[in-house]
Structure 1
Amino acid sequence: MLKIIIPLAGPSELFSNAGYYYPKPLIEINGKIMIEHVLQNPTSIKEIHRFIFIITEEDATKFHLDNVLKLLSQNCDVIKLKKPTKGGLCSTLMAIDKIDSNDSLLILNGDQILDIDFNDIIKFWQVESVDVGLLTFKSVHPRWSYARIENDSVVQTAEKNPISNNAIAGYYYFKNATDFFTASFESIKNDVQLDGMFYIAPIINQYILRNQRVKSVSIEAKAYHSFYSPQMVSEYERKTQQDDRKI
């Protein structure tokens, strides 16, 4: 089965500092909360799948985020964290009890929209028999993670370090859960962290070291919409409203 993991437990200081009361997944964008926008494309996946959301216990208690997620996706598990973890990788690993060893994984950022056909991309990974599949877009801003590509294969990844102009679009496909956990724990054992936090992108180097098959598909930058900051939310609202007026 395909398990789609969306970590939503990370801090959102840019929003709280800007005066937002609700946690990031519940911020309204064009009349819908952020997580509704995020789920719009993944819910169209035809392959048998199940969502796993990782949230804080505080957001469940104070804002009922767990109930919101179960209304949006009845086919899901919600994991509640009592304490902060050391980054997105560690939060993702908290889902280990909900994942079977032969599951494939799709890990998505909880603050982005991808204007792509998820079914076509997943089918491509399966046809290509990749161990890891990434989506990239052109950028050189150090806020993103990056992949260096040679001869159509990913040969290195890095977090918040533009080692190329191929920014990773917060989309990670892993063919086999056991391989994912092996790479994750090896990366943590080797203390591959940035400012005390562990991220998904660097574990892919463990796959590369084992000569496993890591590929990427490039998408246009305009197909990637990040809600990284309040300014990016405002830009998205402004653009979509302009597009609606043209119709």
Structure 2
Amino acid sequence: MNIVFLMGGKNDSQSSGDYPIYMAEVHNHLILENQINYVQGISPERIIFCVKKHDIEQYHVDFIARALTDNAVIVPICGQTKGAICSALLACSYIDNNEELILCSVDDCVDQPLREILQSFREQKCDAGIVTFRSVHPRYSFVKIDDNGTVCEFSEKKPISKNALASIYYFSKGSDFVDCAKNVIRKDNTINEKFYISQTLNEMILKQKKITVHSIDNQFFHPMKTEMQLASYLKRLENSLESV
């Protein structure tokens, strides 16, 4: 099992001191630390951090990651890529294989244990799995599901359903993701001049691969796309740590 944290995108929100969102701190715990603890619940072989070279040089994120986990792999992102697909493919040498792969956004937090989500995907013997919550806001990715529960289509920034994606993407084989990601790029199928992870899932559909949906209640999903969302999550985290 390989975990890839995508940490190269732009975001309007910043934590105090102009640090990246994932370095926001509550009771001496970074959001990044909380995210690492979350994925460690499934005992991955590697946790791969696709992180901006600027953040490595400016904030020593590589040292932070290695201090927080002994299975960290650092993949620097030099400059601005054309989207999450391109950032993830920088880790190609680690994920183009038959091992399971989970791609995560570092600034989207899910409260349901990852072990439970992974077990759901494994039990259904799917080729790919996604986590959804309810939203129609065009900042998210979306999936359309037919009356039989079959995944029909994915869209980016266009609400084709109320099923928004929570930025946890599972592939039973990392090579499936790599192959589909390369197909998206070959087709030059950009959205707002970028390539998105959801587009690889449309390629999976074209290959007649089985895709499973795991739905969670909105109370278990904590995006940090805006200052308000970040403040809300930090408050929830603070309350959680105080109760420990």
Same fold (TM over 0.5): yes
Aligned-partner Cα distance in 1 for 2:56–2:10: 15
**Deviations 1:76-112 (CA, angstroms, capped at 9, x unpaired):** 2001122211111100000001224112110011102
The residue number in structure 2 matching 1:23 is 20
Tell me how many residue pairs correspond in the alignment.
Answer: 243
1:1-247 equivalent positions in 2, closer than 5 A:
2-15=1-14, 20-29=17-26, 31-46=28-43, 48-150=44-146, 151-241=148-238
AA matched with 1:179: D
Give 1:180 deviation, angstroms: 1.2
Contact 1:27 1:33 in 2 (8 A): yes
Contact 1:29 1:233 in 2 (8 A): no
Specify the SS of the correspondent of 1:13: coil
Q: Which runs of 5+ in 1 are unaligned?
A: none
Give 1:128 deviation, angstroms: 1.1
Does the C-alpha gap of structure 1 residues 237 and 152 become closer, same or farther in structure 2, counting only changes over 3 Å? same
**Deviations 1:116-158 (CA, angstroms, capped at 9, x unpaired):** 1211221221221101100100111111101111222211111
Does the C-alpha gap of structure 1 residues 244 and 84 become closer, same or farther in structure 2, counting only changes over 3 Å? closer
Aligned-partner Cα distance in 1 for 2:216–2:83: 26
Q: CA RMSD in A?
A: 2.0
AA matched with 1:166: N
Aligned-partner Cα distance in 2 for 1:190–1:145: 20
Give 1:196 deviation, angstroms: 0.8
AA matched with 1:68: I
Contact 1:105 1:174 in 2 (8 A): yes
Contact 1:153 1:216 in 2 (8 A): no
Aligned-partner Cα distance in 2 for 1:214–1:220: 20
Contact 2:95 2:175 in 1 (8 A): no
Aligned-partner Cα distance in 1 for 2:19–2:150: 41
Aligned-partner Cα distance in 2 for 1:180–1:240: 32
Specify the SS of the correspondent of 1:40: helix
Q: Which runs of 5+ in 2 are unaligned?
A: none
Aligned residues with identical type, % of pairs: 28
TM-score (norm 1): 0.91
Aligned-partner Cα distance in 1 for 2:222–2:94: 29
